[in-house]
Structure 1
Amino acid sequence: MSTPKESIRLDPKTAAVFRKKGYSVDKKLNEGAFGQVYKGSNTKTGELVAVKVMDLDKVGDKFKQKFLPRELAALIGIKHESVICIHDIIRANHKIYIFMEFANGGDITGYLHKNGSISEPLACYWFTQVSNALSYIHDELKIAHRDIKIDNILLHDNMAKLTDFGFAKESYDCHTDTIIMSETFCGTEPYYSPQIVARKPYNAFAADVWAMGVTLFCMLNNKFPFHFGDSKKMLIEQTDRDFIKTRYVKRFPSDLRNFQEKFFVVDETIRWQISEVFQHPWILRKGR
C-alpha cells in the first residue's frame, strides 16, 4: 500500500493528452498485482474519477496477450448500474490508463475493517445489486468474472458496484450451446470453488456463484467460510456439508442460513445459477 501523498508521474506527451481530454490525476489510492489506482478528476465536468494504470513493461506476455484484451473488451462492453462505469481508456508510453467512475465509499473490504460485519438488510441490499450485475454479465453477455471478492465490490453513494474484470472471459459457446470449461486457475484463493482447489477444469459461471457465496459469508460474518493456505484442508472443509455450520459468528434466521449454504454445493452441475438467488425467501423477505 502506498502513502496517501504519492502522485503519478507522466511524461510530457501523456500529460498533454490528459490536458486535452480534461483529466487530472492526483494521489494513489491503492496498488494491485496488475497496476495502481489513482484518484483524479475531469476538469471539464468537475467529476471525480479513478484511474487504473497498468505498465505494460512490468507485466508478463501472457497477461498482455491473454488477460488484458479480455479486460478491455469486457470494460467496453459492460454497461450496468451495478458495474463501475468506464469513461475512457488511453494507451500511451507503454502504459494503459483506464478512467472510471470514482467510488466515494471505498470497497467492502474497507467497510468491514472499519465497521465489522454488515447487518442483514444492508448485506441483502448490496448483495442483490451485485447479483443483478453478475446475472447480466452471465446471462446476457455470457462472460464469467472469475475474480469475485469483497475487494472488487466498490461502494458509491451507498450503492454496491462490481469492478476489476482482469480475469473475465467469455465462457459460453453459442454455436454449440455449451459452457466452455476453464483450465486457467485464476482468482483469489479464499474464494476458490472446490474444482479450482482440486485443479480440475471448471465451470467459470458456477465458480463465480461459489465466490459470491464466500462474499456474502464475509459480509455477514466478517471472516472467510473456509480456511485457506492448505489446499487439502480447504477441500476437506468445502466437501464437509456440516463444516459451514460451525463458522457462523451469530445465530442467523433459518432462511438466511439456508441461503448462505446454497452457494456451497460442491457439485457444480447442480449448484444454482446466479439468477436463481432472487427467488429465495431471504432475498424476498429482506428486499421488501
Structure 2
Amino acid sequence: MAPKYPTVAGYQLVQKIGGGGFSTVFRAVNFDDHRVAACKVILITDQTADKDRKTVEKEMRVHSALKHENVLEFLNAVIVELKHRNHYIPGIYMLLELAAGGDLFDKIAPDVGVGDDVAHYYFQQMLSGVQYLHQEGVCHRDLKPENLLLDSAGVLKISDFGLSAVFKLKDSGKTRTLSERCGSLPYVAPELNSQKPYHAEPADAWGVGVILFTMLAGNTPWDEPTQNSREFSLYVSGEIYDEAPWDRFGPNVLSLIRGLLEIDPHKRMTLADAWSHPWCMRTSQLASQGPAVLADRITQSLRDTGDLELAAPDFSRQQEMDVDVDMPSATHQSQFTQSLMLFSQTQSGARYTPHLTRFYANVPPTHLMPLVQQTLHANNVQCKGPFVEGESLRLRIAGYDLRKQLFKGWVDIEAFHYRGAEGSFCVMQRDTGNPISWRQLWKHLISDEHINPYVLRK
C-alpha cells in the first residue's frame, strides 16, 4: 500500500485548499466531533536540513503560545519521521484553526480597494492582534496581505509565524534589537535596508501602515522602500500626494498612513499612537450590522467591477444549492461564508472553495486548458503540465507580478455540465504571492479574447 497522510489529533486531511513556498494546507475534518480545522504540512525528505527543521520547530514554539481572537489559533502538531515512510508520508503536520472565510485580500478589487468603513473595521482588528503579539514579546516581521485571513464569522486572523522573532522577555520586560533581514520588499521597513540592528516594534508598525494603504488603494504603495522605487522616492520628497491613489485619501486617514510610514523608526507612530488617532478611535459602523452585511461590504468592489458575477454566476447562487455536501461543520456554512459565495456548484454538488479567483466556461476542459496555457504564456507566466489528477486537469504556474514579487499556484479545470452540454469549472489556487496580484492575473485570463467568449455569466 502507498503511504498515506496520518490522522492528526483525530483529524483527517480531506481537501487541499492552499499552500506556500514550502508547505501545503489541507482542510482537515474530525468526523467523530463534527469539527473542521486546517493542517499545514511541511514534507520531510532525505534532503531536509537540520536548520530547516529547527526553523519550523521555532515557528511552532512561538505560534502555540499565542492565544488571541485576531491570531490564527495553533491547535496541535504531529511529526512523522522518515523511518515511518512505508506507512505514512513523512512531514511536520501543524493543525491550525480553519480560516473558513479565506483571504481578506482575495475579496478586494485591484487598484480599487475597500471602502473606509471596511478598512477601519479590519485595521482595528489588525492593530489589536499585532499589539497582542508585541505584548507577548513577539515581532511578526512578515505582515502582508497573504497573511491576513478571515474566519467563518469574518473576524481577521493574523497567520504565518515562520519569520517571527522573540524580541522581549515577558518576565523582565528586557528587549533586544534584531539583525536578520527578512520579509517581502513592498511591506518591509526602510531601516532593514541597512546592516545596523533594528527595533522590532517600529518594523511591524510600518507593515501595518502598508497594509492600511493597500486596503484603501487596492495596491501596495511601492516596489520597495529604497531609491530604486520611483514611488518611494516621490514619497520621501513629498511629491507623491498629488498622484493617484494618494490624492483620493482624506486628510484624516492620510495623516495616520504618513505617521505609520514615517521613514525614521524613532519618530514613527507606535501602535498605541495609531489606536488614539481620530480615524481609528471612532466607533465601527460595521461591528453591529451582522455577517451578511459585512460580507456584502467586503465584496462591494468585486460586484462593482463584475468580478463576483463571474466567480459565482446566477446558476450557482447559494440559495439555489444544497450546501450540505461534504461539510460536517456548521462553521463552514455560516451566513458570512455563504454570503461570500465560498461554495461552488460542481458535478458532485456544492463544494467549499475558498478562492474567488474562479469561473465557469461553456467548453470542456480539453478545449479550455490549451487556451489557458496560451494566455498565461502571453503574460510571461511559466507553466508546467497539464497533469491529470482524478477528474481534473491541473497546471502548475509561476511568475513575477508588477511589484517584482514571486507568485506560484495551480489552475484546476474540471468538467461541469451546463444545460445538457459539457462545460468547465476553473479554479486558480494561489500558493505564494500577493492575493491582489493573483486576482489581476485571473482578470487577465478571463478577459483574454480567446477565453472571454466562453466564460459563463448566468
Whether TM exceeds 0.5 here: the answer is yes
Shift of 1:111: 1.5
Match of 1:138 among 134, 137, 140: 134
Which residue does 2:3 correspond to in 1?
Answer: 11
Aligned residues of 1:86 and 1:100 also touching (Cα < 8 A): yes
Aligned length: 273
Shift of 1:120: 0.8
Which residue does 1:171 correspond to in 2?
Answer: 167
Q: Name structure 1 gaps, 5 residues minimum.
A: 1-8
Provide the rounded CA distance (Å) in 1 between the counterparts of 2:203 and 2:101. 27
Which residue does 2:61 correspond to in 1?
Answer: 73
Query: Superposed, which structure 2 residues align to 1:125-204 within 5 Å?
Result: 125-139=121-135, 141-156=136-151, 157-172=153-168, 178-204=174-200
Provide the rounded CA distance (Å) in 1 between the counterparts of 2:95 and 2:170. 32
Counterparts in 2 of 1:174 and 1:74: CA distance versus 1, 3 Å: closer
Asked whether 1:110 is paired with 2:106, we answer yes
Match of 2:13 among 14, 25, 33: 25
Question: C-alpha deviations, 1:109-142, integer Å up to 9, x for none?
Answer: 3122489411111111111111101101102x11
Which TM-score applies when normalising by structure 2?
0.55
RMSD: 2.7
Asked whether 1:91 is paired with 2:79, we answer yes
Provide the rounded CA distance (Å) in 2 between the counterparts of 1:243 and 1:176. 45
Which residue does 2:406 correspond to in 1?
Answer: none
Provide the rounded CA distance (Å) in 2 between the counterparts of 1:221 and 1:144. 26
Shift of 1:286: 5.0
Aligned residues of 2:27 and 2:98 also touching (Cα < 8 A): yes
Which residue does 1:6 correspond to in 2?
Answer: none
Counterparts in 2 of 1:82 and 1:238: CA distance versus 1, 3 Å: farther
Provide the rounded CA distance (Å) in 2 between the counterparts of 1:262 and 1:10. 56
Which residue does 2:116 correspond to in 1?
Answer: 120
Aligned residues of 2:70 and 2:129 also touching (Cα < 8 A): yes
Which residue does 1:41 correspond to in 2?
Answer: 29
- State the secondary structure of the residue aligned to 1:233: coil
Aligned residues of 2:202 and 2:268 also touching (Cα < 8 A): yes
Which residue does 1:51 correspond to in 2?
Answer: 39
Rg larger for: 2
Q: Name structure 2 gaps, 5 residues minimum.
A: 82-89, 286-458
Counterparts in 2 of 1:71 and 1:247: CA distance versus 1, 3 Å: farther
Counterparts in 2 of 1:178 and 1:75: CA distance versus 1, 3 Å: closer
Counterparts in 2 of 1:10 and 1:239: CA distance versus 1, 3 Å: farther
> In terms of mean alpha carbon deviation, does 175-184 or 80-89 score higher?
175-184
Provide the rounded CA distance (Å) in 1 between the counterparts of 2:202 and 2:48. 29
Provide the rounded CA distance (Å) in 1 between the counterparts of 2:156 and 2:127. 10
Counterparts in 2 of 1:163 and 1:59: CA distance versus 1, 3 Å: farther
Counterparts in 2 of 1:79 and 1:174: CA distance versus 1, 3 Å: closer
Which residue does 1:62 correspond to in 2?
Answer: 51
